[in-house]
Amino acid sequence: LRSSSRGRARCTNASRRTCLVIRFGDIYAKERLYAETLLRTYITDVETVRRIIYIAAVESFHAAKMAYRQFKIRVRETLSLSHLGPESLEDAVLDYIVRHEDLHNVQATVNEVICSMNINPKISFPPKIDFIVISSLIRELCCVAFSMQTLVPPLDIAFGTDGELFSETKYHRSFDSDFTAALVAYHVWPALMENDVVIVKGEAVTKR
């Protein structure tokens, strides 16, 4: 009989969650601003630059979640052949992924993000710029998004659309916003969510 012992990943869940939330905030405060500065050497329009970075964040989370699902399926198939316990197979799979996150092919995920951005109709850029110039930001986002999928419950970003009603609980207004406007003109950074509850506010621009 298998015992009800918890896997190591579940035991370290709270500390890993704290580290990942902090890391997400650091990316917003550091890598995002560096990417913005870099892009502005090629693109003068601030809104376009911000849209590029926001879409990079959204696409990074999407690609990382897909990569995690595929990785988890492969691990489960392999471990199911020899797993005997004492923890459940799901806990064994989670433990393995947490211990071997370096096996995640980050570069392949980054390439997927850049390909998705190249066909995104919301952003345009001069031919001389390639989104590979912000690949370091994309890599950091892919890594943190992948790791967030190993949490119980996993963390994700909020879905945002241009023209949505501005939510004080979900976003901060950018300094250049119209603070009397009720609608979001565009997003600067996504909010971080846990079970549909905002745990870190994003940033948006409101205009009339």
pLDDT by residue (tens digit) across 168-200?
Answer: 999 999 999 999 999 999 999 999 999 999 999
pLDDT at 126: 61
Average pLDDT over residues 33-57: 95
Average pLDDT over residues 37-65: 95
Angle at 115 (CA atoms; ends 119, 108), nearest 5 degrees: 165
In the three-class reduction of DSSP (H, G, I as helix; E, B as strand; rest coil), residue 33 is classed as helix
The pTM of this model reads 0.91
Instruction: Determine contact, residues 126/143, Cβ cutoff 8 Å.
Output: no
Characterize the bridge pairing of strands 171-173 and 202-206: parallel
| pLDDT tens, residue by residue, 18-32 | 999 999 999 999 999
- pLDDT for 77 beyond 80: yes
Query: Helix 106-118 and helix 135-148: axis angle, to 10°?
Result: 120
